[in-house]
Structures are given as C-alpha cells and as structure tokens.
Amino acid sequence: MTVLGVVGAGTMGAGIAQLGAAAGMRTLLHDPVPEALERGTEGARRGLAKWVEKGRVGEDTAGLLETVSSLDELAPCDLVIEAAPEQPDLKRDLFGALSIVCRDDVVLATNTSSIPVTSLAGAAARPENVVGMHFFNPPPLMPLLEVIRAEQSGDRAVQTAVDAGRAMGKEVILVADGPGFLVNRCGRPFSAEGLRLLQERVATHEQIDRICRLGGGFRMGPFELMDLVGIDVGFEVAKSFTELSFGEPRWRPSPIQARMVAAGRLGRKSGRGYYEYAEGTPYRPDDPDPPEPGGGDGMTLAVVGSGPLADALRERARAAGYELREGGPAELVVDAGVRPHPSPPGGAPLLVLCAATSLLARGEQGAVGFHLLPPLDEAKLVELTRLPTTQPFAAEAAEEFFAKLGLSAEWVEDAPGLVLGRIVCQLVNEAAFAIGEGVGSADDVDAGLTLGLSHPRGPVAWSELAGVDHVLAVLDALWEERREERYRAAPRLRRAAVLGRSLQN
Ligand SMILES: NC(=O)c1ccc[n+]([C@@H]2O[C@H](COP(=O)([O-])OP(=O)(O)OC[C@H]3O[C@@H](n4cnc5c(N)ncnc54)[C@H](O)[C@@H]3O)[C@@H](O)[C@H]2O)c1
C-alpha cells in the first residue's frame, strides 16, 4: 500500500489528505500547529464521511487517515506532499528536513502555486525526486491536478505524482516549471486585460463583468473574480510574475490594483473591492434576460464578409425573419468579416465588426461598430460602439437588429475587439506563447482552463470557433493602434494563422 504524507493541514492539506485516504493510500497528515492539525483532520474526516454516505468510497477509508505530530513520523512515506504556507524559505527547510527523515527514494511534492519548483528542488538532498503537485481549491471537488516538472525532476518522480493524482481521480496535466506554471499563467489575461480595459475606460467594471458572463459564458467576470480571490493576493501574484519573468509586459501589475490595495479595498474579505458587499444586499443586479428573437418581417439585410461569425449571423438573421440580399441593396448592411470589406453596399445604416481595426481606424465615421464571438447560440449579448460622428439612426438600427437576433446590447468605447474580443484574444495569445514555449500541450491548456479555472471553453477551442485569423487580427490591430509590447502576437499564433492551421499543430 502506498504511504502518503501530507505536510500542512490547512485548506489545501486537509483536502489532499482526504483525497489520499479516499484513493486507498495510508495517509499521514502532519501540521506543527496542534489546533491546525486537529481542524484539518476533522475536515478531512467529515469529507470522507460524506463520500462514504454517497457510496463514493468504502467505510474503511476513514481508518487510512492518521495524524502525526512530528515530521519524523513521516519516515515510512513513499510520497510526501507539502501544503505549508507559501514562503520559499519555509518550504526549502521542509524539503531539507524531509530528505533526512524519509527514505532515499521518497518523492517530495510541493503544492506551491507560485514558487518555482526548481528553486525548491535544490533544497532537497535528491532534487531528482522533487516535483510540483498543484491542486486547486477545494482539492476534493476540483477535478484538475497540475504536475510540474522542475529542471531537476526525474521521470520516476514525475510518474509517481501523475499516478497518485490519477488514483485520486484527478485529470492530470503535465507542465513545465515557470511563472504560474500552465493554468495560472494562461488564466492571467482574464484579469490583466480586464484591468487594462478599465484603465482605458473602454467600459466600467460592471459592464466588463456582464459582457464576460453574457457574451462569453464565463461564470464570473474578472472583477467579481478578483474581489473573490482578494485584490491584494492578485496584486502580489502579478508582481511575482513580473519579477520571475524579468519584466514581461503582458504580466505587469496594473496601477489600479496598487490603488485598490492602498485604499484597503481588497475585495469581499474587506467588504469592498470593485463591488460593495453588504449583508443581505446582492453586490450586483441579476443579469437581464436577452430579448426574444424574431420580428425581422422580411426586412432586407446584406451581411458581407466571410468566416464563422458572418456565417452564424446570416443564419441567425434568416431565422429571425430577415431577407438576405448578398451585395445589396438592402435596408441594413452588416460587415461581419474579420477584414473590412473594401466596398460594402451604400445607402443604408452600416454595422462593422471591430476586429482588424477599431471603428475609428476603419474610417467609416457614420457607422456603428460591433463585436461578438461564436458560438452565437450561446451568446446573449453583443457589444456595440459609436463615434461622435455615428449617425443616430444607425445606432438605433444596430440595437434593433441585434435585439431581433435575441441579443441585448452593451454600448462600450471603441477598441479593436471591444471588451470580450480583447480578453479572449489575449487568453488565446497567452496559450499560444505557452504552447510555443513547451509549457504544455494545446489539450492541456484547454483542460487546465476549463477544469482548473471553470472557463466555459479553453483558449484553443475559442481560437477554433472564432478562427485563428480573427484572433490574430484583433491582436495586430491592438499592437498597431496601441504600440504596446503586451499586444505582440505569439509566433505560434501567427504561424497557425498563416498556414491556416489550428494551435493544435
Ligand atoms: N488556498 C488555495 O486556494 C491554494 C490553491 C493552490 C495552492 N495553494 C498552495 O497551497 C499551500 C498551502 O495553502 P493553504 O491555503 O492550504 O494555506 P493554509 O494557511 O490554509 O494552511 C497552511 C498550513 O500549514 C501549517 N504550517 C505552518 N508552518 C508550517 C511548517 N513549518 N510546516 C508544515 N506546516 C506548517 C499551518 O499551521 C497551516 O495549517 C501554499 O503553498 C499555497 O500557495 C493554495
């Protein structure tokens, strides 16, 4: 029988111990603080009892969980997972001590979420036996485990960690060491680009969150999420990414985070972050239901441009009762191609997709800009933008058109990709950098973000639905219009777009 040691009986350690016993391992849980050990053990036992009740595990599993009050009692372990506080020196000391206490072939794993595993492995007597096992909170419920291969990790240690994770019922992804490993790295643009959009005042934080929920199908927008995690925690993570990468512009913290922390607005835990949290009052209103689709009543419509979005809009407009007239003349013209159509039919209100340019850079000063991402049958919201020169009747026509397609409108300021497009394209870009740099495979990125961060789909899947050319067009336009290094496209993404391939290969 495998003997598992868990060091640190806090939020993560208690959950990991529960998983170990449930997987049939003799599990020794240790914490130097007696009350913490007691609390953690109780939590793990309660969790196991629930699983026994549900028939998920046998009654004998509770007997597999033992508490040990000294580190020396971990001597018989085959694998030790440390879930002690996130302090490099403390973890290094632990690995040094465990190297003396345990057998030479013990595998030592760290549940760190931000310290390079390579730097911790150096503190063990046998660095080849060290790996990262990054569980997600709460470990018993979250289906993902990220196994991190440090520079020194040997194949046996990696395999031991992968096997233990699978025995615990986890989907295991194997990733390289580096800032944020794979999941937290690839998830970073969600908040980082959200903050950027807020800083540029493209939209308010409430709007950005609503757009992510209703336009993109995310459970929460970036600002709700930052409030939940703690704005101070997110700020520290951003600073550590910058330090570890020697200043990568995509990962720099935002001055907004610094300001919020300085003001003591740390999120839910302090009663105020981007939102206010008061007993009995919801922090935001419920989302509106989208309008009922239909009512096109034979109105003539020209949708120009090609690609998944243009095709989906045509289909949805037809279903809503519009009469499609390719090439015009028509009562409404929608340019839904990724690249601007050279000569959309004139004489009618014009709606243009803000992908390869902002509305301003496109030069159609009377038009309305819009952006949304496929799959349209899941979207409930479209983003619209206007210039001071936009014709009011074109703005009305845009709202009416999308309402008949069953989409509510959110007016935001002009930018390539508007809000959701910018966030999703940066998620795809980060994934393309990570895949290109060998941090993990395309499948691992999508598994990581859906199972680890509960995204509605992974960045690779997004890029396939929208088209890699759409993603690249938004990034290149941001680069062109902002001249900021954070918008440079990943070489892997450009290659996929030029060759017409997926990020998969
Ligand atoms: N909480 C999360 O969402 C989360 C997610 C993934 C990874 N992690 C990582 O897991 C680790 C633990 O996080 P947590 O949230 O469970 O923290 P926690 O504060 O809930 O638990 C830490 C436990 O370690 C104990 N401890 C203190 N000094 C110790 C020592 N010298 N040796 C052993 N144990 C000691 C404490 O008594 C406490 O019970 C951290 O590295 C953290 O970055 C946390």
Residue 215 to residues 141, 204, 314, 411, 431, Cα–Cα distance (Å): 27, 15, 18, 13, 21
**pLDDT at position 310, please?**
96
**pLDDT at position 231, please?**
98
Q: Which residues are known to be catalytic?
A: 113, 134, 146, 184
**pLDDT at position 238, please?**
96
Cα 416 from Cα 472, distance rounded (Å): 11
Give distance in angstroms: CA of 81 to centre of ligand 1.
Answer: 11
Encode pLDDT of 238-274 as tens digits. 999 999 999 999 999 999 999 999 999 999 999 999 9
Report the SS3 class of residue 366. Answer: coil
Cα 322 from Cα 123, distance rounded (Å): 68
Order across the sheet with 130-135: list the strands: 65-68, 26-30, 3-7, 79-82, 107-110, 130-135, 144-149, 171-176
pLDDT-based confidence at residue 326 (cuts at 50, 70, 90): confident
Q: Is 248 exposed, middle or buried (0-12, 13-18, 19+ CB in 10 A)?
A: middle
- Three-state SS annotation for 318-359: HHCCCEECCCCCCCEEEECCCCCCCCCCCCCCEEEECCCCCH
Q: Is 171 exposed, middle or buried (0-12, 13-18, 19+ CB in 10 A)?
A: middle
Mutational pocket test of ligand 1: of 31, 39, 115, the residue with most ligand atoms within 8 Å of the beta carbon = 31
Q: Which atom of ligand 1 is nearest to the CA of 39?
A: 39
Sequence-distant (≥ 6) Cβ neighbours of residue 367 within 8 angstroms: 349, 350, 351, 352, 359, 390, 394
Using an 8 Å Cβ cutoff, are 401 and 314 in contact? Answer: no
Q: Which atom of ligand 1 is nearest to the CA of 84?
A: 24
Determine which residue's CA is closest to atom 18 belonging to ligand 1.
Answer: 10
Give distance in angstroms: CA of 86 to centre of ligand 1.
Answer: 6
Distinct helix (H) and strand (E) counts, the chain: 19, 15
The whole-angstrom distance between residue 252's C-alpha and the CA centroid of its chain comes to: 17
Is the CB of 38 inside a 6 Å radius of any atom of ligand 1? Answer: no
CA-closest candidate to residue 99, choices 116, 69, 120: 120
Using an 8 Å Cβ cutoff, are 487 and 431 in contact? Answer: no
**Does residue 328 register a pLDDT over 90?**
no
Encode pLDDT of 135-190 as tens digits. 999 999 999 999 999 999 999 999 999 999 999 999 999 999 999 999 999 999 99
Start-to-end CA span in the chain (Å): 41
To the nearest 10°, the Cα dihedral for 115, 117, 119, 121? Answer: 140
Neighbouring CB atoms inside 10 A of 353's CB total: 30
Determine which residue's CA is closest to atom 21 belonging to ligand 1.
Answer: 10
Is the CB of 98 inside a 6 Å radius of any atom of ligand 1? Answer: no
Encode pLDDT of 339-353 as tens digits. 999 989 988 999 999
**Does residue 318 register a pLDDT over 80?**
yes
Determine how β-strand 300-304 pairs with β-strand 332-335: parallel
- Three-state SS annotation for 259-308: HHHHCCCCEHHHCECCCECECCECCCCCCCCCCCCCCCCCCEEEEECCCH
Is the CB of 41 inside a 6 Å radius of any atom of ligand 1? Answer: no
- Cis peptide upstream of residue 179 (ω within 30 degrees of 0): no
Task: Read off the DSSP letter of residue 109.
Answer: E
Q: If you search the block for the tokens 């049958």, which residue do you land on?
A: 377
Report the SS3 class of residue 220. Answer: coil
- Three-state SS annotation for 373-426: CCCCCCCCEEEEECCCCCCHHHHHHHHHHHHHCCCEEEECCCCCCCCHHHHHHH
Using an 8 Å Cβ cutoff, are 414 and 359 in contact? Answer: yes
CA-closest candidate to residue 6, choices 94, 86, 125: 94
**Does residue 74 register a pLDDT over 80?**
yes
User: What's the whole-number mean pLDDT along residues 5-31?
Assistant: 98
pLDDT-based confidence at residue 327 (cuts at 50, 70, 90): confident
Encode pLDDT of 335-384 as tens digits. 999 999 998 998 899 999 999 999 999 999 999 999 999 999 999 999 99
Tell me which long-range contacts 337-343 makes (C-beta under 8 A, separation of at least 24).
Answer: 337/304, 337/305, 337/306, 337/307, 337/310, 338/305, 338/307, 338/309, 338/467, 338/469, 338/470, 338/473, 339/305, 339/473, 341/304, 341/305
**pLDDT at position 111, please?**
97
Determine which residue's CA is closest to atom 11 belonging to ligand 1.
Answer: 83
Angle separating helix axes 468-482 and 491-499, nearest 10 degrees: 130
Is the CB of 245 inside a 6 Å radius of any atom of ligand 1? Answer: no
Encode pLDDT of 300-315 as tens digits. 999 999 999 999 999 9
Neighbouring CB atoms inside 10 A of 1's CB total: 8
User: What's the whole-number mean pLDDT along residues 435-458?
Assistant: 98
CA-closest candidate to residue 98, choices 82, 114, 116: 82
Whole-structure pTM value:
0.95
Is the CB of 117 inside a 6 Å radius of any atom of ligand 1? Answer: no
pLDDT-based confidence at residue 90 (cuts at 50, 70, 90): very high
Cα 164 from Cα 142, distance rounded (Å): 15
